[in-house]
Amino acid sequence: MFCLHRLNIMWKAYLIVSVVITIAAAAIAGYLIAEKKNVLITNKQIGLLKLASTLERKLNADDLTKDISRVNGLAINQAEKAAILNNLYEPLLLETAKENPEYDIGISFDKPAGWEEQSVLYISHPLYIDGQFSGHMRAGYMLDYLDKEIGQYTTTLLTLVFGVWVLLMSLLYLVFYKFTIESSRLSCLTSDAEAEGREAIDRQASSKLACLIDLCPLPIIELDDNGCIANLNKAMQDLYNRYFTYSREVLIGESIQALSSQLGIEYKKSFIARVMDGQEIRNEYLRQLGYDWILNGIPIINADTGRVNGAIAIYHDISEAEKTKQEMARLESLNAIGETAASMAHELRNPACAIRGFVELLQRKCREDQQEYYGIILEELDRMNGIIEDFLSLTRNRLIDKTPLDINEVLRSLYPLILSDALKNGIELEYNLCEKAEALRLNPREIRQLVLNLARNGIDAMSPRGILRISTEKTMSGINLIIQDTGTGIQPELLNKIFEPFYTSKQNGTGLGLAVCRNIIEGHAGTIKVESEVDKGTTFIMFFPNVKEECCRLPKSGPEVGIYSMGCEMTTP
């Protein structure tokens, strides 16, 4: 392209020079023709003057006057007089005309016809007889003859100029042609070298950019105009490898629509489909396939046609950030609960204890038909005390006293209590405990509270003839405690909310039970996971690791608020 550009410049220069030379030649030719005409006119004027002098010398004025007087004395008309004079001087005029063939000369005693209407160089001398104009002596040169002479000169000159112009153009063409060929050859060599250098730099820059993109922790994908993968970085390949094991070579050229279908995503409603339709998307939030994403997409548009030639999409996984955000919100809620519970727990417990004491005293002295009412009062006082205990379980900042314990023994000790609750509600209880479970460092009171909370929740969620299953299973790193019911299940959109304090679906629930369970699990460095299907039941899976050493909470004055993480507790004011 660069060589062609140089060639175009050279031939444009040749064209400009040719036009300049042509204009100059035309101007010179025009100038020479004009000068030639002026010179000819001047020469003819000089010739007329010489001719007039010759006539004046040959025609003696006195002899002419005498001749005119004699002819005038004749008794004839004016025309006959003029004819006599013309015949008298005709030999002299013919002799002079032979000497000057290009001039018209003569003596006329009548007005010459047609001379006024023609362009002439003209010299005349009037002749008067008896004071009256009788004729004139004339010498003239018609400009038509001059034009013919100028035409002949112009033809000759233009032929000469044209020949010189052709010669110059030929020489100029040869010079430009040789110079252009040589220059273009050198330019092409130079431009080729420069192009190779630029291509090498571009390849190096592209390689560096590809490395940077491949090292980028954010998944990046490039699509062509057919919606097929043109390129992707390692993070994007790792993202696809979460769901299927395709190599990079297999993914390149694969249709994004086909991959979306394999992932269960409706392509027409997807983010990438909108980008391929020409829509630019910036920082759009999407939760999909169990992850939280911030999406950015830019269509690649041809500037000339306006057609979408592809797209680039960037995925930012913010799942961990969202979990952290939710955890911080939960901790803020716990902090608020802790501040409330710490300030109110003692104020509520003291009068409750007093009330309970007096109610028990009155119950001993009351009539038999009133015993039921006092029993209801004591149950409600116990329920209130349980709520206070739940508050304190969420907010206490104390050492958890853990001892090596077989979790199956705790579950066996709870069997009669859970079975009693199950039978009251027509529920079947199934125990399936693993053999020789490894002893874990547990707090038996909190484990009892955990199991009872989840078991009673499962019983409440089931109608008669439901089944409550409690089981344990050993793993390489700990024990799984599984509590499963066949109840109504939990809506998918509510699964992320059930562990939040005060969130409940029960009419008379406090919304603290599952929050307390989660707190107990985290206090034991474990994890809790819930699986649920509407109208089929819910399963809670709790994992207790084999923890050899504990991190202990540091005592701290002020409100008792605990933050639990991986078996360690830190306190916040």
Sort 306 into a burial class: Cβ within 10 Å, 0-12 / 13-18 / 19+: exposed
Distance CA 281, CA 268 (A): 16
| Same domain as 539, residue 406 | yes
- Closest-CA residue to 277 (of 229, 254, 311): 311
- Closest-CA residue to 490 (of 535, 454, 445): 535
| Same domain as 121, residue 9 | yes
Q: Is residue 470 part of a domain?
A: yes
C-alpha distance from residue 306 to each of 158, 223, 224 (Å): 58, 17, 15
Q: What is the pLDDT along the chain (573 residues), one digit of tens a residue?
A: 445 555 566 667 778 888 888 888 888 888 888 888 888 888 877 877 777 777 767 766 666 667 777 777 777 777 777 777 777 777 777 777 777 766 666 666 554 444 444 445 556 666 655 556 666 666 666 666 777 778 888 888 888 888 888 888 888 778 777 777 766 666 666 666 677 767 777 677 667 767 777 778 888 888 888 889 888 888 888 888 888 888 888 888 888 888 888 888 888 888 888 888 888 889 988 888 888 889 999 898 888 888 888 888 998 888 888 888 877 887 777 677 666 666 676 677 778 788 888 888 888 888 887 888 888 888 778 777 776 766 666 655 556 778 888 999 999 989 988 998 899 999 999 999 998 778 888 988 889 889 998 998 899 889 999 999 999 999 888 999 999 999 989 888 888 888 877 767 666 666 777 888 888 888 888 999 999 998 899 999 999 998 654 443 333 333 333 322 223 332 222
| Same domain as 4, residue 117 | yes
| Same domain as 194, residue 107 | yes
Distance CA 551, CA 17 (A): 94
Backbone angles phi, psi at 103, to 5 degrees: -110, 155
Q: Is residue 535 part of a domain?
A: yes
| Same domain as 135, residue 3 | yes
| Same domain as 209, residue 220 | no
| Same domain as 60, residue 172 | yes
Distance CA 129, CA 108 (A): 13
Packing angle, helices 78-99 and 2-58, rounded to 10: 120
| Same domain as 208, residue 171 | yes
Q: Is residue 354 part of a domain?
A: yes
| Same domain as 249, residue 143 | no
Q: Which of 346, 374, 395 is the last residue of a domain?
A: 395
Partnered with residue 255 across adjacent β-strands are 228
Query: Count of domains in the chain?
Result: 4
| Same domain as 360, residue 410 | no
- The one-character DSSP state at 268 is G
Condensed to tens digits (0 to 9), the pLDDT of residues 477-532 reads 899 999 999 998 988 888 888 887 776 766 666 677 788 888 888 888 899 999 99
Q: Which contiguous run of DSSP H or E holds residue 542? A: strand 537-545
Condensed to tens digits (0 to 9), the pLDDT of residues 535-549 reads 899 999 999 998 654
Q: What is the CATH number of the domain that holds 261?
A: 3.30.450.20
Q: Which contiguous run of DSSP H or E holds residue 260? A: helix 256-262
Beta-carbon contacts of residue 62 (< 8 Å; ≥ 6 apart): none
Q: Annotate 139-175 with DSSP letters as a single string.
A: EEEEHHHHHHHHHHHHHHHHHHHHHHHHHHHHHHHHH
Give residue for tokens 């420069």: 194
Q: Which of 317, 337, 362 is the last residue of a domain?
A: 317
Condensed to tens digits (0 to 9), the pLDDT of residues 83-125 reads 777 777 777 777 777 777 666 666 665 544 444 444 455 566 6
The pLDDT of residue 431 is: 93
Q: Is residue 296 part of a domain?
A: yes
Q: Is residue 569 part of a domain?
A: no
pTM recorded for the entire structure:
0.40
Distance CA 246, CA 239 (A): 11
Q: Is residue 64 part of a domain?
A: yes
Distance CA 502, CA 482 (A): 24
Outline where 284-432 has alpha helix (H): 319-365, 371-395, 407-424
Q: Is residue 208 part of a domain?
A: yes
Q: Residues 209, 213, 214, CA angle at the centre, nearest 5°?
A: 115
| Same domain as 344, residue 279 | no
Q: Is residue 573 part of a domain?
A: no
Beta-carbon contacts of residue 174 (< 8 Å; ≥ 6 apart): none
| 35 token code pair | 């000068």
For the chain, give the longest Cα–Cα distance: 198
Q: Annotate 510-538 with DSSP letters as a single string.
A: -S-HHHHHHHHHHHTT-EEEEEEETTTEE
What is the domain range of residue 455?
Answer: 400-551
Beta-carbon contacts of residue 262 (< 8 Å; ≥ 6 apart): 243, 244
| Same domain as 463, residue 432 | yes
Beta-carbon contacts of residue 259 (< 8 Å; ≥ 6 apart): 240, 251
The pLDDT of residue 2 is: 45
Q: Which contiguous run of DSSP H or E holds residue 93? A: helix 78-99
| 217 token code pair | 């922790």
Q: What is the CATH number of the domain that holds 452?
A: 3.30.565.10
**CB distance 135 to 106 below 8 Å:** no
